[in-house]
């Protein structure tokens, strides 16, 4: 009788241990996959940060009058470089689009799911390929759009899948100012216009200036202190959130624990 009871207890104990080990294994896998996912989503922003030279700031440039890269550099002579996605509203013969230009060197870092096509055709920054959310288009179609007085044509390289986070601009703003600011939660049921993602180099080659949004700026001035530089930017429509050094430090904990 004692042997039967002992066998029963051992059976229950072994079952509980197996359950505990299964839970631990499942949680460990979830943590590992989550960290890998967030590291991948942070990769484009990390690339932007690595390209910075000198003192840098995390800013929102959309409040500047005519916030094109050329005009911003002309207005703030101490800004040496701007690292950000750019955007505008474009018009075609039949519709309107939100166009986003992706900085050179970041295209292969973007995490974009496609229903059709291949992002490999989009990896050449000098080529006139684009990615679109417009499912009325087909891969290989020519898309001609007008931005202001300028017209530019693209070849559709891929059709972007619905309901995903797209790296670009106009994302939700987070209190801690982290990499999630650069993401758009795209859902065709609620998004007003279809999106076109293009290479920044081709946009510039076509002579088109898009508006700057969230991004980083490098500053360099022998005549102004850091406080004077920040004050001048803030007095003229730039929202200065923090230095790039502070931004980077925040990501060490945020991008591993925060859900997009």
Q: Using CB atoms within 10 A of its CB, is residue 22 exposed (0-12), middle (13-18) or buried (19+)?
A: exposed
Q: How many structural domains does the chain have? A: 1
Instruction: Report if residue 133 sits inside a domain.
Output: yes
* 25 in a structural domain: no
Query: Residue 56 to residues 59, 140, 175: CA-CA distances in angstroms?
Result: 9, 40, 20
149 beta partners: none
Q: Is residue 182 part of a domain?
A: yes
More confident residue, 188 or 119: 188
Q: Please give the average per-residue pLDDT across 67-71, as a whole number.
A: 93
198 in a structural domain: yes
**For the segment 73-114, what is each residue's pLDDT rounded down to a tens digit?**
999 999 999 999 999 999 988 789 999 999 878 888 888 999
Least confident of 123-127, 161-165, 220-224: 123-127
- Report if residue 41 sits inside a domain: no
In a domain, 211, yes or no: yes
Q: Which domain holds residue 58?
A: 47-257
Contacts for 221 with CB less than 8 Å, ≥ 6 apart = 77, 78, 229
pLDDT of residue 153: 93
Is it the case that residue 60 has pLDDT exceeding 70? yes
Q: What is the pLDDT of residue 177?
A: 74
Residue 38 lies in a domain: no
pLDDT score of 55: 86
Structure confidence by residue, pLDDT tens digits, 14-27: 766 766 766 676 66
Residue 148 domain-assigned?
yes
């Amino acid at each position: 009788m004692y042997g039967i009871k002992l066998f029963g207890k051992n059976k229950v104990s072994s079952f509980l241990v197996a359950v505990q080990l299964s839970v631990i294994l499942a949680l460990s896998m979830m943590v590992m996959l989550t960290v890998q996912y967030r590291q991948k989503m942070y990769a484009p922003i990390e690339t932007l940060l690595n390209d910075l030279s000198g003192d840098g700031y995390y800013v929102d440039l959309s409040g500047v009058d005519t916030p094109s890269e050329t005009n911003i550099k002309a207005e703030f002579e101490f800004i040496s470089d701007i690292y950000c996605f750019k955007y505008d509203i474009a018009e075609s013969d039949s519709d309107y689009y939100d166009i986003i230009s992706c900085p050179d060197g970041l295209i292969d870092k973007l995490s974009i799911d496609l229903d059709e096509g291949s992002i490999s055709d989009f990896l050449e920054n000098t080529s006139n390929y684009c990615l679109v959310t417009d499912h009325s288009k087909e891969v290989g179609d020519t898309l001609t759009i007008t931005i202001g007085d300028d017209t530019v044509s693209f070849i559709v390289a891929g059709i972007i899948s619905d309901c995903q986070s797209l790296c670009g601009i106009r994302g939700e703003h987070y209190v801690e100012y982290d990499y999630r600011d650069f993401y758009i939660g795209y859902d065709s049921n609620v998004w007003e216009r279809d999106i076109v993602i293009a290479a920044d180099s081709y946009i510039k080659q076509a002579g088109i200036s898009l508006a700057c949004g969230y991004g980083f700026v490098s500053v360099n001035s022998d005549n102004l202190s850091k406080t004077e530089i920040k004050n001048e930017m803030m007095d003229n429509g730039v929202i200065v959130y923090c230095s790039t050094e502070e931004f980077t430090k925040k990501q060490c904990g945020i991008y591993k624990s925060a859900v997009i």
